[in-house]
Chain A
Amino acid sequence: MERNRTPVVSGWFTGTEEDGDFRLLGTRCSACAAVFFPREDAYCRNPHCPGGGELAQTPLSPRGRVWSYTDGRYRPPAPYVSDPDAPWEPYTLIAVELEAEGMVVLGQGAPGVTVADLAVGMEVEVIGGVLNEDAGTVWTTWRFRPVEPAGVTA
């Protein structure tokens, strides 16, 4: 049976892992150029904004540099979804300072990327991925991976 591919949060990214044009989506204030991720659609949060602007959807930089990284050696609590009967597989978490926005965005590492493959300052890119699957749905998300093949830059 074909399952729906559904973003784990709607409106936060566009593209798929296959088409190679995956981007995180934020919003940008037309009055002050502030960019927000997670997207802010209701109001601009810059206290110095002159006001009167509109918040328009904007794709974020596809690349950035590792601000820091870690992993999760123990199963996190719900609402994180994992199979309680399967052995726990640690995932990698990467905080990435995006090139143009200067904002730090947190994401999981792409499958196979471990803390041993990473260093602060290393260039990484965002790609699509699957967070978890259930009976009817494949829940999609964003991931980061080193631009150079893992291990080469170390």
Chain B
Amino acid sequence: MSADIAVLGAGMHPWGKWGRSFVEYGRAAAKTALADAGLEWTDVRSVVGADTVRSGYPGYVAGATFAQALGWQGARVTSVYAACASGAQAIGAARAQILAGLAEVVLVVGADAAPKGFFAPAGGERPDDPDWLRFRVLGATNPAYFALYARRRMALYGDALEDFAEVKVKNAAAGALNPYARYRKTVTAQEVASSAVVADPLRLLDICATSDGGAALVLTSMEFARSHGVADPVRIRAVSTVTPTYPRTLLDLPDIATDAVTASAPAGGPFRASIARAAYEEAGLGPEDLSLAEVYDLSTALELQWYEDIGLCGEGEGAKLVREGATALGGRIPVNTSGGLASFGEAVPAQAIAQVCELTWQLRGRAGERQVPGARAGITANQGLFGHGSAVVAVR
């Protein structure tokens, strides 16, 4: 039995700081994806929006907001939110509708208009919200958590600041070749080293920025793709949206503490690894089958962690992989061929969709100077606040 769905169209609005509404970015991305698919908006029978919670009510109901901006045409609507994993949830919802026979053609859209500086929690006095508490009680920003992970890698595995910098250098080199990236300049290790320390040991250029941007996909049943004249489309073979298992012992944003191990011992490995494992199991393939991967490099050090979590190498071997050049363009298993968050900056609800756009272009052989020769399979991996797993496997 095939549980594949087809990616008929992929589109993005360039990342940047454009100062306009997220709706414009999402609409532009949707139009581009529809044109890429050779379809009209009126052909779409279901629209799934990844929510933009920083943009008020229109953002909370992003599916309807995008549908209205494209012109009401009666399509089924879904709006989903899972922080950084919102895009994968949107793809997962679309896929379920297609596989259930509820819709043949589904448009998935995510877009963000990001504020300047640190992400801050919603306002007011809200001591029941762990996200509010970590700022009030600890001043623990997102980069603070990234820095905790980075320092621990240095202590456990001997990672060096130079290894972290190498990730930035690699991703900036790829991003320089991507017209949708916000930062399109190559970066040297020296430039990373001389950027200001934000949260020891991470420097400004180790940490991703926040951006405006929009991404969209046109997803269809395999039958529809064939009837539309696309015999061999890029296929989504797995969408992993798993949660952690108790007790969760790895400190995660926005938590102030992990679970205790007094009732039961941790089992099944860390959460991030379980996200990829579920995707591989569903897709019936493994890391050895990958041509490329797009992972969530919120920080340079976190990219090394993902290498291990998606099985590209053993625990503690991530730095060795980047040092060898294995994950650079032209390497054995290129990671973040798009340039990653390092080159894009995070546009939260759009980012997991953008990852799949990159896989789509790579698997079609249309990624230009970034092309991984003969790409046949790729994975995206990402994690949303409060325990939302996100991984997509696409094949050709």
Contact = CB atoms under 8 A, between A and B. Distances in A.
B198 A103 contact: no
B222 to A, nearest CB: 37
Interface in A86-139: 91, 93, 95, 98, 100-108, 115, 119-121, 131
Nearest to B133: A9
A71 B17 CA distance: 28
A5 interface: no
Interface string A9-44: 100000000000000001011001111111000000
B246 A46 contact: yes
B69 interface: no
A78 B132 CA distance: 9
Nearest to A31: B263
Contact of B140 (A34, A67, A93): A93
Interface stretch (B56-64, B144-152, B172-180, B319-327): B144-152
A148 B130 CA distance: 32
Contact of B141 (A68, A72, A119): A72
B209 to A, nearest CB: 14
B43 to A, nearest CB: 44
A3 interface: no
A149 interface: no
B254 to A, nearest CB: 10
B136 interface: yes
Nearest to A26: B260
Given A77-B117, A98-B260, A102-B262, 15 more contacts: A9-B133, A37-B256, A45-B259, A68-B152, A70-B201, A74-B198, A77-B135, A78-B123, A78-B135, A81-B136, A93-B144, A103-B260, A105-B256, A106-B140, A119-B155
Contacts of B256: 37-38, 105-106
12 contacts: A34-B263, A35-B262, A46-B247, A70-B200, A73-B197, A77-B141, A79-B121, A80-B135, A93-B140, A93-B199, A102-B249, A103-B261
Interface of B: 117-118, 120-121, 123, 125, 127, 130, 132-141, 144, 147-149, 151-152, 155-156, 196-202, 246-247, 249, 251, 255-264
A39 B127 CA distance: 13
A106 B251 contact: yes
A133 B33 CA distance: 54
Contact of A29 (B121, B156, B247, B263): B263
5 tightest Cβ-Cβ pairs between the two chains A and B: A120-B155, A70-B147, A77-B120, A102-B261, A34-B263
Interface of A: 8-9, 26, 28-29, 32-38, 45-49, 67-74, 76-82, 91, 93, 95, 98, 100-108, 115, 119-121, 131, 141
B144 A120 contact: no
Contact of B258 (A8, A28, A103): A103
Contacts of B262: 28, 33-35, 100-102
A46 B257 contact: no
A33 B137 CA distance: 27
Contacts, number: 148
Nearest to B263: A34
Contacts of B139: 72, 76, 80, 82, 91, 93, 108
Contact of B151 (A49, A68, A131): A68
Nearest to A80: B139
Nearest to A36: B260
B263 A48 contact: yes
Contacts of A48: 246, 263-264
A73 B121 CA distance: 19
B24 to A, nearest CB: 26
A101 B135 CA distance: 24
Given A72-B144, A73-B198, A9 B257 contact: no
Given A71-B200, A104-B251, A8 B137 contact: yes
A70 B148 contact: yes
B202 to A, nearest CB: 8
Contacts of A68: 148-149, 151-152, 155
B151 A70 contact: yes
Contacts of A121: 155
Contacts of B121: 79
Residue from B117, B136, B255, B257 whose CB has the most chain A CB atoms within 10 Å = B257
